[in-house]
Structure 1
Amino acid sequence: MVQQEAVVVRNAVKRYGKELVFNDLNMTVSRGSIYGLLGSSGCGKTTLLSCVVGVRHLDSGEVWVLGGNPGSKGSGIPGPRVGYMPQEISLVGEFSVSGAFYYFGRINGLNDEEIETRQKFFSELLQLPSDDHLVKNMSGGQQRRVSLAVALIHKPELLILDEPTVGLDPVLREKIWSYMIQITQEESITVLITTHYIEETKDANKIGLMRCGKLLAESAPQELLAQYQCSFLEEAFLKLCSVQNNTVTLNEAQGSKVEDTGGNVLHQDQNQHCESTKAYLKYEAVSERPVSRLRRFKALLTKNGTQFLRYYGGLIFAVVFPILQIGVFIMAIGDDPKNLKIGVVNEEVENCSSDNNFGNVWNDELTCHFGNLSCRFLHNFDNSIATQEYYEDIPKARLAVQNAKLSGVIYFSQNFSEALQIRVEEATFAKDSDLLASQIQVFLDMGDMQIGYFIQQKLFDRFLKVYEDIMRDCKYSPKLADPPIRFEEPIYGETDLNYADYVAPTYMLGLSFFLAATVSTTLIITDRMEGVWNRSVVQGVRTEEILLSHILIQSIVIIIHTAMIMLIVFPIWGLECKGPIFNVMVLIFLNGFSGLMYGFVLSVMFKNHTAAHYGAAGSFFALVLLNGCMWPVQGMPKVLRWFSYLVPTNLSSVSLRGIIYKGYSISEPEVYIGFLITVGWILLFLIITIFRGRSKSS
């Protein structure tokens, strides 16, 4: 009867770029045995195991695990038939000892009673820390023991351990080996273990000696010692290394005999490989424990929730950061500039500060007379717009503007009041010189355009108000002071709508988008870098399940963000919403959800946090420039304008303005197009994440 083989590797070749990791490698692991894969760091042991468990693929050659290729329907990988302990710790730092046991126990189909029983057993066997001790607070040796325990917890049919005893004391290593011998003999469990400690594999059923990507020998330890007439396995390994250095390896000499330096014969029977290769077809699997998808998904939710709740920086970010951002926006944007200075050159009146010098308007029977009206204008301008500083002449005042001491200069001519009287009473016959003298001349520093436009608008509004008062004092109609154009009450919005009101919808959506993206950008990368992603996938967890569990937990964060934004902007800041407030809330949430999906895309596209954050920061500035917040989309070139319409937060911002300022319902095209575009981006980001996540898991 042919012995069943748990793992069969044939003619395996693996490269990283141009670097050859191993070449034409053959390995056979028999069922119910311990196979020790030995070799120094960098020889390819970890890469070989990652190919066995399906985390990586061979460039050529074949692998059979428990009767099938990894990932195929007949294989035990992925699934609970395999227990996998990677070389890295591969545990969530926020896990407690109990949390790690419950997570790996549940995804492998154990009920809570079984998990609790086995946790007590392994805690005693491996001398684990207390149940509530967090992984991130453990020493390296303690972390490795917990990692080993959770690989053993569900009594897998095949146990793959990558250097589980590194850093452990000899007594504990001996204890672990005794336990492995016991489970292979009593429960027919197969153990494939790599280690640096060559001598500890003396109790293995078979060892494979690996060096520089080559399997130098594959034999029972005692047979290898006898063949090379050595007392220790390390001596045999050194002799095999010497043979390899002379360019003769066992793999290169299949079917032939080569004498080593000691006169012994190295021989590998090729027929044995052929017979073992056929054996996988007759493999009879141990009855597989059914794993409930719902239970597995609950384990993922618990894991992600634990990570979030125990990462206090993330909690602060979720609750406090939106408050800070909205608070800074409210305080920093939209208020009138303060502490401005404007120069005054008044050739009509030397000093307007006198109590009697407020400008005079009086009527006689024939006409209305003006006197020192420059002071009247200056008193009404007062310091609410800018602090007035008097200068003797225009050149000195202009020099002060050039030296950044002033934001502008106001100039009144010597006969300003008289010329203004002529302009009013004799408009048709007034000379150009009188018309020029009746003007208030303003020279502004438009290098700071926003400050310049602010002063310009405020001075113009105040001038019209003072001029209307003068017309009343003259018993004339105040409408004479109105310019020939009149802006009536706007159809939508308010006449005094400031920049903060305009920016608020776009800012709310952009903030929701990038808060969510910032969080999710790190999630998958963290899982991958900690090794939890691959370890979970090997145990049968699907990529879609991991993503969905992250989405549900992070949706709670988005709801918190949405609630904070809504609370601060509307009730506290007092922004009036003329449309359905529920539509506003849903649109902000959807934009946050879109940001969440975008962060996942970045997380699967980049390998580390630094690259992902560079990608997020670069795209952030591009989106801000294109979403119509800094400048209207209508001012962009046509090609760029159409591209900007596809930006996730652009049309949704138009929709939000329509709801807030115009009172539109979702039935209006201007509104529902924003919802449709946002949902479209969510679906696109989700599809990219799933396909990219699958490709990285394979």
Structure 2
Amino acid sequence: MTVFKDEADISGIVIRNAFKSYGSHAVLKGLNLTVQKSTIYGLLGPSGCGKTTLLSCIVKRLSLDHGSISLTAKSVSDIGYMPQDVCLHTELSIKEIFYYYGYIYGLTDKQIKFKMAELLSFLELPNQNRICTELSGGQQRRVSFAVSLLHDPKILILDEPTVGLDPVLSYTIWQRLLEMSRMGKTIVITTHYIEEAKQADAVGLMRNGALLAEDSPSYLLQYYNSSSLEDVFLYLCEQDQNNNAGNKTAELPSSCDKLRSLPNIEQTTSFTTSRFSSHRFKAQVIKNLYQIRRNVEITLFMLFLPIVICVFFNLAIGHDPTNLTVAYVNEESYSCYNVTYKGCALTERIYASCQVLDEMREKTFNLVQFNSTEDAQLAMFHNHVWGVIYFAPNYTQSVVNRINMGQHTKAGTLDSGAISFWIDKSDKYISSIVSRDVVTSLLDTISKILAPCSSKIKVSSKIMDNPIKFNQAIYGNNEPTFQHFATPAAIIICIFYLPVIFTGAIINSEKEGGVIERVMAAGMSFFEVAIAHSAVQSVLMIFQAIEMMILMYIVYDNPYKGNILTGLALLVLVGCGGSVFGFILAVLSKNLAGACFFGIGSNFLLMCVCGFIWPAEGAHYLLRLINSYFPLTLATTAMRSISNRGWGVTHPVIYMGFVSAGLWLAVFISLAYLVLRIRDDIWRSK
């Protein structure tokens, strides 16, 4: 890196020709700034002039569009950074925050304890076990300031550290900063209190992304013949505005001209930090455990949510409808309440219509009698009944004649021996249940009215039976329910989206509060954040998977014929994919609401295509060409085959489910990496 010796020997921070813009809005406009070693540099200017952006570039949270920044610091741990906002995990205690940042910087427990005691006393902080949310705004800012001093950095970057503090404490802090500068620290401090900056060794007066002046406070006061820095600043602003030079610097004092004459530095100091550090990983894991312990409500919510989902799923989904109301009109000349209809239909007077109605009552129906089919159909039109069944006046005799005469049965007998049935088809599932039970009621009736005939006239009751014989099902049972079909898909969807909810909430809350940006400035990498979060999330995920399997397959007795460990391994793999997917939603979204919208939309999409709401084989043929490539489709099929068929991991359907889940995990990790590579401001609060 090109550094000029005469400048590097005296300067801790050198910024040359710095340009930075957000879209079409220029924030830094060719700014040049020099901070000498072992001095305090006060950066003064109104809100929006670019101070915070400049500090973010110095600590490598932003990169310049053009220009260079040279630092004497060689690593992140050489810099202490206090952002403008508090940017702390406010649900942690003061002690936990100190230990978290102490571990990030590689300090030992003994060093952290010693520095914590010193800073608690110096900054007059309350008891170390106080939670940050219980502190006042000024106390929180003092904790934030203490964090920047914890690791004894060479360069200290402070963005308005004295805002909201009482004058006595502000004076104490300035005295400490002066002492630190004499001990070799290089300090850059921004402040709105212009007169406060008189204590600095040098000040830079900044407006519209450029410096209006840069020198010692005493020199500026003398040069502009003024009694206060505020008057100097106002004068320079007026000159800058009058000269229509918002993007240029005003004439500088002669002692600063030498800074302009120095050649431009061609490169920017970069820090070489490892992608993974055991002490940073330890800090992140411990912080996550602190949060889980502190946020008892969220932890219990994440543990009990699978239980609630499973309970309500089994209570509400997959059961056949009962107590369905069906109207009937029976024109046979008798009342079913006053007759006996047991016996052989070929030798005794029986009433088949009553037998059919009796069979229907034993199934799903509440039967309501009407005098005419017109009245019954009107009731169905008004949604009072699901169907209308009609028996002709000589229905029973026609059925008997049909059995006796066989192929010689007359057309009129066939018509009057048939049941007329009208049904409400607006609900496919309920109408299918009603149709099925009406047909099985009729078949059961024929079987029962012919059964007594076998001993009297040697007539088999199988004459009118269904000519198809259904043997025992190879997989499942002969009366499957939608609940058995949907249970594996419900577990897969839950285990994928529960980590999405948890990860999205945690990451977005930290991003919106500026916490992640601060820990990134301290050297933490996305890889360490992701791995530490995944480690803690995996433990929670295993508990959630075990909860759901116990409830679904033991408590509610849904069929599970496969190996328990195979199913659990598939769930954990799918859950890991969900956790990384949650990271992607979190980093792409501006806030938690945006992540929720993305999550809800993708959830509905994946439910539709994975075979939860309806079998994937029933999808449009164009969708069927691609639905196997969606994240949860093959995993759902595999989980269904493990539970309902008992297949092992060597079966193609099962290992393809594992392959699909593994490949999507790799895709999500790659996408997260690419997003972070492309957008360097991804962790910045919006």
Superposed pair shares fold, TM > 0.5:
yes
CA deviations on 1:137-191 (whole Å, 9 max, x unpaired) are 22211111000001001110100010111110111100000000001102x0111
Aligned partners of 2:274 and 2:97: how far apart in 1? 20
Percentage identity across paired residues of the two chains = 33
2:569 corresponds to which residue? 586
> Taking structure 1 as reference, are residues 289 and 213 closer, same or farther at Cα in structure 2, changes over 3 Å only?
closer
1:359 corresponds to which residue? 341
1:5 corresponds to which residue? 11
User: What secondary structure sits across from 1:300 in the alignment?
Assistant: helix
1:422 paired to 2:401: yes
> Taking structure 1 as reference, are residues 471 and 170 closer, same or farther at Cα in structure 2, changes over 3 Å only?
same
> Taking structure 1 as reference, are residues 137 and 358 closer, same or farther at Cα in structure 2, changes over 3 Å only?
farther
Q: Is the 8 A contact 1:296 1:541 kept in 2?
A: yes
User: What secondary structure sits across from 2:239 in the alignment?
Assistant: helix
Deviation at residue 291 of structure 1 after TM alignment: 13
What does 1:296-375 correspond to in 2, within 5 Å?
Answer: 296-354=280-338, 357-362=339-344, 367-375=346-354
Q: Is the 8 A contact 1:524 1:603 kept in 2?
A: yes
Aligned partners of 1:280 and 1:427: how far apart in 2? 101
**Which of these residues, 213, 232, 237, is aligned with residue 236 of structure 1?**
232
Q: Is the 8 A contact 2:49 2:209 kept in 1?
A: yes
2:522 corresponds to which residue? 539
**Which of these residues, 477, 482, 498, is aligned with residue 515 of structure 1?**
498
Deviation at residue 322 of structure 1 after TM alignment: 0.4
2:259 corresponds to which residue? 272
1:640 corresponds to which residue? 623
2:61 corresponds to which residue? 55
Q: Is the 8 A contact 2:504 2:582 kept in 1?
A: yes
1:101 corresponds to which residue? 98
Aligned partners of 1:455 and 1:182: how far apart in 2? 88
CA deviations on 1:231-258 (whole Å, 9 max, x unpaired) are 111111111111112127698468xxx6
**Which of these residues, 395, 398, 402, is aligned with residue 381 of structure 2?**
402
1:206 paired to 2:189: no
**Which of these residues, 476, 480, 483, is aligned with residue 493 of structure 1?**
476
Q: Is the 8 A contact 1:5 1:279 kept in 2?
A: no
**Which of these residues, 580, 592, 608, is aligned with residue 591 of structure 2?**
608
1:576 corresponds to which residue? 559
Which residue identity is paired with 1:52? I
> Taking structure 1 as reference, are residues 536 and 695 closer, same or farther at Cα in structure 2, changes over 3 Å only?
farther
Aligned partners of 1:549 and 1:198: how far apart in 2? 43
User: What secondary structure sits across from 1:109 in the alignment?
Assistant: coil
Aligned partners of 2:253 and 2:352: how far apart in 1? 115
1:625 paired to 2:631: no
Aligned partners of 1:362 and 1:229: how far apart in 2? 125
**Which of these residues, 4, 20, 35, is aligned with residue 29 of structure 1?**
35
Deviation at residue 53 of structure 1 after TM alignment: 1.0
**Which of these residues, 640, 654, 668, is aligned with residue 637 of structure 2?**
654
User: What secondary structure sits across from 1:35 in the alignment?
Assistant: strand
Aligned partners of 1:590 and 1:550: how far apart in 2? 15
Deviation at residue 136 of structure 1 after TM alignment: 2.1
Q: Is the 8 A contact 1:543 1:697 kept in 2?
A: no
Deviation at residue 579 of structure 1 after TM alignment: 1.6
**Which of these residues, 441, 444, 448, is aligned with residue 469 of structure 1?**
448
Aligned partners of 2:298 and 2:599: how far apart in 1? 18
Which residue identity is paired with 1:491? I
Aligned partners of 1:162 and 1:497: how far apart in 2? 66
1:261 corresponds to which residue? none
2:466 corresponds to which residue? 483
Which residue identity is paired with 1:235? D
1:163 corresponds to which residue? 160
Range moving further from structure 2, 600-609 or 524-533? 524-533
Aligned partners of 1:431 and 1:361: how far apart in 2? 25
Which residue identity is paired with 1:641? R
- With normalisation by structure 2, the TM-score equals 0.93
Q: Is the 8 A contact 1:301 1:553 kept in 2?
A: yes
- With normalisation by structure 1, the TM-score equals 0.92
User: What secondary structure sits across from 1:368 in the alignment?
Assistant: coil
Aligned partners of 1:289 and 1:657: how far apart in 2? 46
> Taking structure 1 as reference, are residues 291 and 515 closer, same or farther at Cα in structure 2, changes over 3 Å only?
closer
Deviation at residue 695 of structure 1 after TM alignment: 4.3
Q: Is the 8 A contact 2:16 2:265 kept in 1?
A: no
Aligned partners of 1:436 and 1:143: how far apart in 2? 88
1:220 corresponds to which residue? 216
Aligned partners of 2:20 and 2:655: how far apart in 1? 52
1:445 corresponds to which residue? 424
Deviation at residue 531 of structure 1 after TM alignment: 1.6
2:148 corresponds to which residue? 151
Which residue identity is paired with 2:66? S
- Equivalent residue pairs, number: 670
Q: Is the 8 A contact 1:216 1:250 kept in 2?
A: no
Q: Is the 8 A contact 2:396 2:417 kept in 1?
A: yes
Aligned partners of 2:605 and 2:463: how far apart in 1? 49
**Which of these residues, 38, 44, 58, is aligned with residue 44 of structure 2?**
38
> Taking structure 1 as reference, are residues 617 and 161 closer, same or farther at Cα in structure 2, changes over 3 Å only?
same
2:534 corresponds to which residue? 551
Deviation at residue 292 of structure 1 after TM alignment: 9.5
User: What secondary structure sits across from 2:77 in the alignment?
Assistant: coil
Deviation at residue 345 of structure 1 after TM alignment: 0.2
1:70 corresponds to which residue? none
Range moving further from structure 2, 202-211 or 381-390? 381-390
> Taking structure 1 as reference, are residues 419 and 46 closer, same or farther at Cα in structure 2, changes over 3 Å only?
same
Deviation at residue 435 of structure 1 after TM alignment: 1.2
Aligned partners of 1:362 and 1:654: how far apart in 2? 50
Q: Is the 8 A contact 1:516 1:592 kept in 2?
A: yes
Range moving further from structure 2, 214-223 or 16-25? 16-25
Aligned partners of 1:17 and 1:370: how far apart in 2? 92
Which residue identity is paired with 2:64? L
Deviation at residue 27 of structure 1 after TM alignment: 0.5
User: What secondary structure sits across from 1:428 in the alignment?
Assistant: helix
CA deviations on 1:368-406 (whole Å, 9 max, x unpaired) are 344222112212222641111110010100000000010
